[in-house]
Structure 1
Amino acid sequence: MYFLKYVATRFEDVKAVVLPGESEEDFDPHAHRHIPKPTTYSETMMHMLKGCLGAGLLAMPNAFSRMGIIYGTIGMVLIGIFATYCIQVLVHAQYLLCKRKRRGYMAYNKSMRVAVQDGPVCMRGLEGFFANGVDFFLLFWQVGICAIYFVFVAENVKQVMDFYGHSMTVRMLIIYCYPPLLLLSLIKDLKLLTPFSTISNFAVMLGLYLVFFYLIEDDAEIDDSKLQMKGIKEIPVFIGITLFALEAVGVILALEYNMEKPRDFTGLCGLFSVAMFIIITIYVTLGIFGYLKYGNKCEGSITLNLPQNQKKAQVAKLTFTLALFLSYPLQNFVAWQIVWRKSRKKFRESIRPLADYVIRILIATIPFGMAVLAPNLEAFMGLLGAFCLTFAAIVFPALMEMLVYWPKKYGFCYYKLFKDLLIILFGIVACCSGVYTSALEMLAGPKH
């Protein structure tokens, strides 16, 4: 049910009713949000945990196989803290913009537009560019997730079919998955998709239980090779996979928006920080145990390492396959919503229904084409995390904060300005290096 609420509120601005004589300093955007059914602290926490325990979680052993146990753990913790801080920067910057404009809430792209308009004079003609940039990276992120779902489903089904003597390539399975997923993507009523989401959640819970069963059934063996990093070139892909697993900036902002007490979301001991601590702990645990179990043979999803000849392992693979298969139309709906919101007014009223279906088919077909061209799961995750999330969850939040504090609110010796510039620089470097190394792995071709 949360996904329906997320889609309904993702693209709306909440306008505040300002009381007479109320100054900007006295104005509290949180008090002027009017959410029909806000979520409690515990409900938001459950949504947060559920939203981050998916395909990215299953890639953690592969990520640790690149960095080793020591560097992988340190890297995961540092990236987790850094990513958490950047999202908190974004939420706080949006809060300050809402106070300035006296609104209860502004969507991410709208916030970026307003921040650029209030920033240096030399940037004020670029507000459309940066606002569209936010939508572009969020759209590419959603389309990329759909492509990853294609690859994940195909690779896991392939292993089960291989055991029963039905050999088929990953690409052919992706092609067979396309028609049913395309039909599901044409469903317009989200209420019809709600049962699919419920089944998907139960499948994820069952699959995680079965995966951990295999990881802890034998005694772990630690040797020096598992403590060492494979090479410097693995760092960008590790960062990309970790960001893919940790960050879902659109969902996180929607959770903060829908909270009953949004002030409890941020802060050192706020809900987001506590949730990220739990998530990072789970990721590190799965990463370490998965790497100890399968070593350098860790696949892009830990389900691909499970024994092919055991029924419990086959059930684990098929439950995660079912979960992501049923989640595909929901993820695809978000991508369609971004495109349709920006393009619907360009079509005449008479042809809008036809244009709607054409866009839905196009949005469902693009990730299919991406998956067929490069069915390499871990490289796909690294590319998506490096390209989209370094900008959407690192560069843009720092840029927005820098513009919000323009021109004389940067603190002692302009420390906030230099801090944001360093964050932006890190994000750009991580993006370029991560995209390059992940693209090389994708061009190397599929493993199967």
Structure 2
Amino acid sequence: MFIYKFMAGVVETLTGGGEEDVNAYDPHAHRMIEKPTSYSDTMIHLLKASIGAGILCMPDAVRRLGLINGIIAIPAIAFFATYCIQLLIIAQYKICQREKRGYMAYPKSMLFALQSGPPCLRWSAKLTYYFVDVVLVTWQLGICVIYFVFVAENLKQVCDYYNLFEASVRIHLCLILLPLILVNLIKDLKMMTPMSTISNIVTVFGLILVFFYLVEEDVSVSDDTLKLKRLEDIPVFIGITLFALEAVGVILALEYNMDCPKKFTGICGLFNLGMIAIMTLYTLVGVFGYLKYGNDLKASITLNLPSDQKKAQVAKVLFGIAIFLSFPLQNFVAYAITWRKLKKKIPQGQVYCVDYILRVVLVLLPFAVAVAVPRLGPFISLFGAMCLSLLAIVFPGLIDVCVWYPTTYGPCKYKLLRDIIIILLGMFALISGCYTSIIEIIQAQED
């Protein structure tokens, strides 16, 4: 049950007391968690949160860079993103020590960091606090857009094969709109437990079927498969890989709810070990998928599975069901953040009505974007570049700059130099990824 509390992001900050030295205060000891998760529980949830629809996009990512570059780049990006999240968690711990609190949510961590950071940044503290919330909501709604298109495209292929209903992807988007609105009206997260359980089960079976197709035949490696196709594909690759690998909100929540949070970070910490397993699996799927289908790969490998075989149709249906059942949980995160801001300004008699209106609107928004451009690939790279470049790279670097200000940057101020490099790399991924993804979306519209 606690995984839903993680995703909702409704975490109360706890205050500590006393006048003891800052470094003597241990925020972990002041976290009042009713049901903390064990090491094994946390590892299971980390794997479950990170292995989802994103893994099906990895063959397309490898196609853009070629086999050799892909095999090198996926672990490199995974290492870099993991390192940035480690910096964020450590920085949050330091902020909690200073403020004598057990925990702080991501936006509030940014607020307190900027308020105590370099003077040239302090003016933006409140503005950036709200901006982090906006990016978090945009990211979650972006996932919902991708889920809309994913379900519709797989549903279309199955319906076309069985001659059940031949129509465009946009028509199929309209068909699944009402069911998604209805399941999104579920207010109690406990009622989502059966849906999540079913989603996890069918995902496992779906991956088994996909691997069956990837390894059933011998493959040949040509010179073309080894090479980078275009320089413009590099930012798109980064966006896709970040989308697939990162689940920032869940990772922070897992660390918060762990019974021994100190085991989460570190060289041999749970987070690093889990990401090694995730990175390995993603690399295998990306490489074998590209070797299997080559340059004919589509945005999701399920769309490449043969349409004349029942096992392939079963795999598409399974992943479609898994993503459909995961939609309410992803949408609930955006709802929780937005509702927390709105409910204080709504008259008591209108709360019930506005609550349900907001839930419906938060389904209609990603639906409208999906209908406007029903292409899976460009959206995956766009939202990965736009949101995760900020949440997983730029923001952690910025918070870290402020946490160590002004005298604890280390010898030769290496921490400051490190953070500047991280921020610049994140901004490069953000700008270049968004630009190339928008170009692909425009080209898709013209086609």
TM-score scaled to structure 2, two decimals?
0.97
Whole-angstrom CA distance in 2 between matches of 1:41 and 1:274: 12
Encode CA deviations 1:326-356: one digit per residue, 9 max, x unaligned.
1111111111111101111111111111111
8 A contact 2:65–2:227 mirrored in 1: yes
Whole-angstrom CA distance in 1 between matches of 2:62 and 2:99: 45
Structure-2 residue corresponding to 1:136: 134
Q: Which amino acid aligns with 1:99?
A: Q
Structure-2 residue corresponding to 1:256: 255
Structure-1 residue corresponding to 2:33: 35
Q: Which amino acid aligns with 2:110?
A: M
8 A contact 1:90–1:397 mirrored in 2: yes
1:154 to 147, 152, 155: 152
1:71-220 to 2 correspondences below 5 Å: 71-165=69-163, 166-220=165-219
Whole-angstrom CA distance in 1 between matches of 2:19 and 2:373: 59
User: Is the partner of 2:22 in helix, strand or coil?
Assistant: coil
Shift of 1:447: 11
Shift of 1:176: 1.1
8 A contact 1:114–1:127 mirrored in 2: yes
Structure-1 residue corresponding to 2:420: 421
Whole-angstrom CA distance in 2 between matches of 1:390 and 1:230: 23
Shift of 1:3: 3.0
Residue 14 of structure 1 pairs with residue 24 of structure 2 = no
% identical aligned pairs? 53
8 A contact 2:14–2:102 mirrored in 1: yes
Whole-angstrom CA distance in 2 between matches of 1:443 and 1:151: 17
Whole-angstrom CA distance in 2 between matches of 1:432 and 1:4: 32
Encode CA deviations 1:378-417: one digit per residue, 9 max, x unaligned.
1111000000000011000000000011111111111111
Whole-angstrom CA distance in 1 between matches of 2:382 and 2:224: 26
Cα–Cα, structure 1 residues 255 and 446, in superposed 2: closer, same or farther, change >3 Å?
A: farther
Encode CA deviations 1:90-138: one digit per residue, 9 max, x unaligned.
0000000011111111111111100011112333232111111111111
Whole-angstrom CA distance in 1 between matches of 2:315 and 2:353: 40
8 A contact 2:203–2:322 mirrored in 1: yes
Whole-angstrom CA distance in 2 between matches of 1:402 and 1:287: 35
Shift of 1:40: 0.8
Shift of 1:21: 5.2
Structure-1 residue corresponding to 2:22: 24
Shift of 1:33: 1.1
8 A contact 2:7–2:249 mirrored in 1: no
Cα–Cα, structure 1 residues 324 and 394, in superposed 2: closer, same or farther, change >3 Å?
A: same
User: Is the partner of 2:123 in helix, strand or coil?
Assistant: helix
Whole-angstrom CA distance in 2 between matches of 1:148 and 1:447: 20
Whole-angstrom CA distance in 2 between matches of 1:241 and 1:82: 15
Structure-2 residue corresponding to 1:331: 330
Deviating more after overlay: 332-341 vs 116-125: 116-125
Encode CA deviations 1:190-209: one digit per residue, 9 max, x unaligned.
22221111111111011001
User: Is the partner of 2:102 in helix, strand or coil?
Assistant: strand
Residue 226 of structure 1 pairs with residue 210 of structure 2 = no
Q: What is the aligned length?
A: 446
8 A contact 1:62–1:287 mirrored in 2: yes
Structure-1 residue corresponding to 2:366: 367
Structure-2 residue corresponding to 1:303: 302
Shift of 1:11: 3.0
8 A contact 2:7–2:329 mirrored in 1: no
8 A contact 1:2–1:47 mirrored in 2: no
Whole-angstrom CA distance in 1 between matches of 2:151 and 2:446: 15
Whole-angstrom CA distance in 2 between matches of 1:447 and 1:327: 32
Structure-2 residue corresponding to 1:275: 274
1:58-77 to 2 correspondences below 5 Å: 58-77=56-75
Unaligned runs of 5+ in 2: none
Whole-angstrom CA distance in 2 between matches of 1:263 and 1:256: 9
Whole-angstrom CA distance in 2 between matches of 1:25 and 1:177: 53
8 A contact 2:3–2:45 mirrored in 1: no
Q: Which amino acid aligns with 2:427?
A: I
8 A contact 2:389–2:430 mirrored in 1: yes
Whole-angstrom CA distance in 1 between matches of 2:313 and 2:2: 30
Q: Which amino acid aligns with 1:399?
A: L
Q: Which amino acid aligns with 2:5?
A: K
Whole-angstrom CA distance in 1 between matches of 2:296 and 2:12: 47
User: Is the partner of 2:249 in helix, strand or coil?
Assistant: helix
Residue 45 of structure 1 pairs with residue 43 of structure 2 = yes
Shift of 1:13: 3.3
Q: Which amino acid aligns with 2:168?
A: T
Whole-angstrom CA distance in 1 between matches of 2:224 and 2:123: 54
Whole-angstrom CA distance in 1 between matches of 2:228 and 2:380: 20
8 A contact 2:136–2:387 mirrored in 1: yes
Whole-angstrom CA distance in 1 between matches of 2:19 and 2:135: 40
8 A contact 2:2–2:35 mirrored in 1: no
Shift of 1:186: 1.3
TM-score scaled to structure 1, two decimals?
0.97
Shift of 1:445: 2.3
Whole-angstrom CA distance in 1 between matches of 2:184 and 2:268: 39
Whole-angstrom CA distance in 2 between matches of 1:245 and 1:443: 23
Shift of 1:446: 6.7
Whole-angstrom CA distance in 2 between matches of 1:59 and 1:205: 16
Q: Which amino acid aligns with 2:57?
A: A
Q: Which amino acid aligns with 1:118?
A: S
1:285-304 to 2 correspondences below 5 Å: 285-304=284-303
Whole-angstrom CA distance in 2 between matches of 1:441 and 1:372: 16
Unaligned runs of 5+ in 1: none
Residue 312 of structure 1 pairs with residue 311 of structure 2 = yes
Shift of 1:17: 3.6
Instruction: Report runs of 4+ in structure 1 exceeding 4 Å deviation.
Output: none
Whole-angstrom CA distance in 2 between matches of 1:313 and 1:52: 24
Whole-angstrom CA distance in 1 between matches of 2:3 and 2:442: 34
Cα–Cα, structure 1 residues 7 and 231, in superposed 2: closer, same or farther, change >3 Å?
A: closer
